[in-house]
Amino acid sequence: MSNSRVDAPVRIAVVGLGKVARDQHLPALLADGRFTLVATVSPEAGGVGDVAHFASLEAVLERGPVLDAVALCTPPQVRHGLAARAIAAGLHVLLEKPPGATLAEVEGLRSQAARAGTTVFAAWHSRFASGVAPAREWLTGRAVRSVAIVWREDVRTWHPGQDWIWEPGGLGVFDPGINALSMATAILPGPIVVAAARLVVPVNRAAPIAAELGLRSADGIPITMDLDWRPTGPQTWDIRVETDDGLLLLARGGASLSLPHAATAHFEDHEYPQLYARFHELIRRGDSDVDIAPFRLVADAFLLGRREATEAFVD
């Protein structure tokens, strides 16, 4: 943003008009006066209302309205190419999670943005769940004994027809699992390391449908992680932290928080409005925020994981 536009709304394009763009990014942006949605980009999908719509990032850069920023809401496999092109065009970039398909390409974007003087934001939306900040605060100064992460959801309900999620770079069950890791790395003292992993992969797919991880924090606290995409009954997105002062339970993906001797707090969902507030703050300050800790744990699980084949998955 030039200095003359320092107080003007950030002119942004949303790239990749799929589920998360329509459910979260567009409503958050349209409600935030610090941004103006000037374009959308998607190869197949139609646009929204009278917002200018293009089939590719290249097309909006060549023929579209002037932009300050893009939000990349595509599958991760194409994120790096789009982000590198946007930074080269002098734009600020919000990366949906996971921030790319490999660690090296995300590191590369961080360096490229620093050289170009633009902002890049690896947006871990679950860190903006309302229970995360109070959980981190409550844990400060308390001794953690063990942690159990349980993330069990029905893939057919949450990811119908998303073939990219099963392909290399799509992460499989770690697509939701990385949300849990983004919260765990935000509330627990780090660094956390992967000690062992078991990856259950359908014979007709490249990515796991279930996984069990053994992790530990720097001071040796055991952390277990149980990820499964097969449950069709109750859905579970829980982080249980046993402390010397009782149990902290961050449930419903961070939307509920239970602490000892207190009623469970249930929060409204403000993740994406908070995420865009953070992106705006970074742009104003001329900073970037690219924390790869959750992504590195997934990469390490893939490095260390013992693979077991399971029955074919048919959507």
Among all residues, which ones are annotated catalytic?
A: 97
Select from 4-12, 36-44, 106-114, 142-150 the region that touches ligand NAP (CB under 6 A): 36-44
Nearer to ligand NAP, 129 or 248 (CB): 129
Nearer to ligand NAP, 42 or 217 (CB): 42
Contacts of 19 (CB under 8 A, 6+ apart): none
Nearer to ligand NAP, 1 or 60 (CB): 60
State the minimum distance, in angstroms, from the CB of residue 189 to ligand NAP.
26
Nearer to ligand NAP, 21 or 135 (CB): 21
Distances (CA, A) of 279 to 30, 80, 95, 117, 274: 15, 18, 10, 15, 9
Report if residue 231 touches ligand NAP, rule: CB under 6 A.
no
Report the residue from 53, 80, 97, 280 that binds ligand NAP according to the rule CB under 6 A: 97
Provide the sign of the torsion angle of the four alpha carbons 16, 238, 27, 274, taken in this order.
Answer: negative
Residue 66 phi, psi dihedral angles, 5° rounding: -65, 135
Report if residue 19 touches ligand NAP, rule: CB under 6 A.
yes
Residues 98-157 that bind ligand NAP (CB under 6 A): 125
State the minimum distance, in angstroms, from the CB of residue 32 to ligand NAP.
18
Select from 75-83, 144-152, 194-202, 222-230 the region that touches ligand NAP (CB under 6 A): 75-83
Nearest-5° Cα angle at 206, 204 to 212: 105
| Secondary structure in 3-state letters for 156-186 | HHHCCCCHHHHCCCCCCCHHHHHHHHHHHHH
Report if residue 16 touches ligand NAP, rule: CB under 6 A.
yes
The C-alpha atoms of residue 61 and residue 148 are separated, in whole angstroms, by: 46
Site string for ligand NAP, 242-271 (x = CB under 6 A): ------------------------------
Report if residue 86 touches ligand NAP, rule: CB under 6 A.
no
Tokens 């941004």 belong to residue: 35
**Residues linked to residue 151 through DSSP beta bridges, in sequence order:** 227, 237
Report if residue 75 touches ligand NAP, rule: CB under 6 A.
yes
Nearer to ligand NAP, 127 or 144 (CB): 127
Report if residue 40 touches ligand NAP, rule: CB under 6 A.
no
Residues that bind ligand NAP (CB under 6 A): 15-21, 23, 41-45, 73-76, 78, 96-97, 125, 162, 175
